[in-house]
Amino acid sequence: MTAIVEVSGLTKRFGSLAAVNDISFSIEENRICGLLGRNGAGKTTLMQLLTGQDFATHGDLRVFGMSPVENASVLHNISFIKESQRYPDDFRARHVMKSAPWFFRNWDSDLAERLVDDFRLPLDRKIKKLSRGQLSSIGVIVGLASRAPLTFFDEPYLGLDAVARQIFYDRLLEDYSEHPRTIVLSTHLIDEVANLLEHVLVIDDGRIIIDEEAETLRGSATTVVGTRAAVDSFVGSRTVLHRDGIGGLASVTVTGLSAQERVDAAASGLELAPVSLQQLIIHTTNTTDREFA
Q: Which residues bind another protein (CB under 8 A)?
A: 31-32, 169-170, 173-174, 176-178, 180, 195-198, 214-215, 218-219, 273-276
DSSP-derived 3-state class of residue 105: coil
| Of residues 78 and 280, the one with the C-beta less far from another protein | 280
The nearest distance, CB 198 to another protein, in angstroms, is 5
Number of Cβ within 10 Å of residue 259's Cβ equals 7
What span, in angstroms and rounded, lies between the C-alpha atoms of 258 and 263?
9
The nearest distance, CB 32 to another protein, in angstroms, is 6
DSSP-derived 3-state class of residue 57: coil
The nearest distance, CB 38 to another protein, in angstroms, is 22
DSSP-derived 3-state class of residue 25: strand
What span, in angstroms and rounded, lies between the C-alpha atoms of 190 and 167?
16
The nearest distance, CB 40 to another protein, in angstroms, is 28
| Of residues 60 and 174, the one with the C-beta less far from another protein | 174
DSSP β-ladder status, 78-81 and 150-154? parallel
The nearest distance, CB 276 to another protein, in angstroms, is 5
| Of residues 108 and 198, the one with the C-beta less far from another protein | 198
| Of residues 215 and 232, the one with the C-beta less far from another protein | 215
| Of residues 31 and 43, the one with the C-beta less far from another protein | 31
What span, in angstroms and rounded, lies between the C-alpha atoms of 109 and 100?
10
Q: What angle do CA 188, 47, 288 make, to 5 degrees?
A: 40
